[in-house]
Amino acid sequence: MQQPNFVFIMTDTQGANIIGAYGHPGLETPNIDNLARNGVQFDRAYTSCPLCTPARGGIFSGMYSNMAGPWANELSFRDNVKSVGQRFQDSEYRTAYVGKWHLDGHDYFGTGICPDGWEDAFWYDARCYLEELGVEKARLWRSGLNSLEQLKAHDIQPEFTMAHRVSNRAIGFLEQNDGSKPFLLVVSYDEPHHPFTCPPEYAERFEEYTYPVGPAAYDDLENKPTHHTEWANGHRQQVESHLESGDRWRDPLYFGCNSFVDHEIGRVIDAVHAYSPENTYIIFTSDHGAMMGAHQLHDKGPAMYEEITHIPFIIEAPKGMGGGVTNSTLVSHVDLLPTMLDLAGLEVPPVMAGQSLVPLLNGQEDPGKSVMIEFNRFGAVHEYMGGLQPIRCIVSDHYKLVINLLYTDELYNLAEDPAELNNLIEHPGYTDIRNALHDRLLDRMHEILDTLRGPCWERRPWRDTRRFPWAGGTRPLHADGYAPEVLDYQTGSPDKYV
């Protein structure tokens, strides 16, 4: 059987709530919308962490970042963690990565050095883009294009942007590919992340547009974790500068850049259809969303609200087979790599925290599935967003439980309270639901060998029980398909631990 090709497209800071296919057609994302019409659209997809680097860690390793290594920005994979590129390259695939990486532990832009698992000839991260721009244009990109007037004054054209150059390199790969090997092409856009650089005509379309934040804009943060109020106080000026009429968010650069990156994505999709063999899957997602004034918050960070955790997730099968389907099963970033391996007929190793979604692509749904989301720290070398914030969250069919290890916990009934205003964590009518979700989350942390697992997650103000012993036996790491079998600490033999 011929192995399939994969074109994996991702953006940065593009929640499901700013995609037309997910209910907001006024935001003008026709190419992503068309991909959804031709593919399987997962309506309840969640990030593994609402932060750039850890989310990418989950996407490209199939593991939660607390285990894979990049559990905060400016951290990289552990040396023994194999990325999607390494796994597919070792299975005789051509592997090319074009665009934002943010996983080398260096800085926001990267090093410009191609890591193991990818073809050096096509490697192109943000450092490569900066070097192409030169010092003055790089400064302009980062700090000189903060308004529609500045975009016009500098006559910003598509060719200036990182998005356009990333698309060009991706299209170049597709044009020159000779079909001698199956391939994996990752196309990773920085956009619509700040500084929201786009040609001015895109921002102009949204000068009068205001996004309906809804009831979440009026959250007084009573009965919420203290760090949400601290976050809100630290960004009050930014929120107030964008919110109008109480719950309308005006941000023409962000929305313009969102529509512009959709245009660039369309260029790549067209090239896939024109140049790629018919057995090619197109996968699209984003790392996380943006708060946009919901719950008085700006940007992304240590919270589990829908605005930053609910992400777009679309898979177009070859020839559009099974297209035009919406699947309501809960899915996660960590399901992506197991799905790709399964589609390629490759083994999914036990170390991966997710599961293959191939049955869902074939029309099945799994209403009993839940997803876990984590947060640990915003950045390793800067103090943005308040330092250590260990959080674990579980989302089920109708409920979301959030354990804020250092603060007040949260429970929301998403079916009745989609704006997540009413924290039910101490509500006596929800004790059984809360405790069942708590058990499910603890089991999940135990199952995946969550690095921060321990009694502290069980010992909550509203519950003090023990699901796991404080001092237990040693358990081996899950097999990754590469490393030798873990040896018993006491005997040095490959005997199974208890």
* Orientation of helix 252-275 relative to helix 30-38, angle to 10°: 50
Q: Tell whether 121 and 229 lie within a shared domain.
A: yes
Q: Judge whether 488 lies within some domain.
A: no
Can you say how many angstroms the Cα of residue 256 is from the centroid of all Cα atoms in its chain? 21
Among 344, 365, 386, the domain-final residue is 365
Assigned token pair, 195: 């500084």
Q: 88 Cβ partners below 8 Å, 6+ apart?
A: 6, 95, 117, 184, 340, 344
Q: Tell whether 101 and 200 lie within a shared domain.
A: yes
Assigned token pair, 331: 């899915």
What does R_g of the chain's alpha carbons equal in angstroms? 22
pLDDT at residue 320 in the model: 65
pLDDT at residue 1 in the model: 55
* Structural domain containing residue 454: 372-464
Q: Judge whether 479 lies within some domain.
A: no
Q: Tell whether 262 and 311 lie within a shared domain.
A: yes
Q: Tell whether 124 and 75 lie within a shared domain.
A: yes
pLDDT at residue 319 in the model: 76
Q: Tell whether 269 and 347 lie within a shared domain.
A: yes
Q: Judge whether 480 lies within some domain.
A: no
pLDDT at residue 61 in the model: 98
pLDDT at residue 318 in the model: 92
Interatomic CA distance for residues 306 and 308, integer angstroms: 6
Q: Which helix (H) or strand (E) holds 35?
A: helix 30-38
Q: Tell whether 283 and 399 lie within a shared domain.
A: no
The CATH number that applies at residue 399 is 3.30.1120.10
The span from the first CA to the last CA of the chain, in angstroms, equals 40
Interatomic CA distance for residues 264 and 261, integer angstroms: 5
Q: Tell whether 449 and 360 lie within a shared domain.
A: no
Number of domains in the chain: 2
Number of separate helices (H) and strands (E) present in the chain: 16, 17
pLDDT at residue 434 in the model: 98
Catalytic residue among 24, 49, 52, 393: 52
Helices (H), 448-497: none
Backbone angles phi, psi at 173, to 5 degrees: -60, -45
Q: Judge whether 496 lies within some domain.
A: no
Q: Tell whether 237 and 163 lie within a shared domain.
A: yes
Interatomic CA distance for residues 413 and 423, integer angstroms: 9
Assess whether 456 carries a catalytic annotation: no
pLDDT at residue 498 in the model: 44
Which residues, in sequence order, are bridge partners of residue 332? 46
pLDDT at residue 496 in the model: 61
**Per-residue confidence in pLDDT tens, the chain, 498 aa:** 589 999 999 999 999 999 999 999 999 999 999 999 999 999 999 999 999 999 999 999 999 999 999 999 999 999 999 999 999 999 999 999 999 999 999 999 999 999 999 999 999 999 999 999 999 999 999 999 999 999 999 999 999 999 999 999 999 999 999 999 999 999 999 999 999 999 999 999 999 999 999 999 999 999 999 999 999 999 999 999 999 999 999 999 999 999 999 999 999 999 999 998 789 999 999 999 999 999 999 999 999 999 999 999 999 999 767 778 999 999 999 999 999 999 999 999 999 999 999 999 998 999 999 999 999 999 998 777 778 999 999 999 999 999 999 999 999 999 999 999 999 999 999 999 999 999 999 999 999 999 999 999 999 999 988 888 777 777 888 999 999 988 888 888 886 654
Catalytic residue among 49, 102, 193, 198: 102
Q: Judge whether 492 lies within some domain.
A: no
Closest CA to 378 of 49, 109, 51: 51
Q: Tell whether 458 and 340 lie within a shared domain.
A: no
Q: Tell whether 116 and 232 lie within a shared domain.
A: yes
Among 325, 348, 365, the domain-final residue is 365
Q: Tell whether 345 and 379 lie within a shared domain.
A: no
Helices (H), 39-159: 52-61, 65-68, 84-89, 126-133, 135-143, 148-153
Q: Judge whether 163 lies within some domain.
A: yes
pLDDT at residue 33 in the model: 98
Q: Tell whether 404 and 328 lie within a shared domain.
A: no
Please report where in the chains the tokens 């390494």 appear, as a residue: 86
pLDDT at residue 471 in the model: 76
Backbone angles phi, psi at 278, to 5 degrees: -70, -15
Q: Judge whether 491 lies within some domain.
A: no
Among 365, 396, 426, the domain-final residue is 365
180 burial (CB, 10 Å; 0-12 / 13-18 / 19+) is: exposed
Q: Judge whether 200 lies within some domain.
A: yes
pLDDT at residue 494 in the model: 80
The CATH number that applies at residue 360 is 3.40.720.10
485 burial (CB, 10 Å; 0-12 / 13-18 / 19+) is: exposed
Assess whether 257 carries a catalytic annotation: no
CB-facing half-sphere around the CA of 136: CA atoms within 13 A: 1
Assigned token pair, 129: 């883009």
pLDDT at residue 324 in the model: 84
Which residues, in sequence order, are bridge partners of residue 183? 94
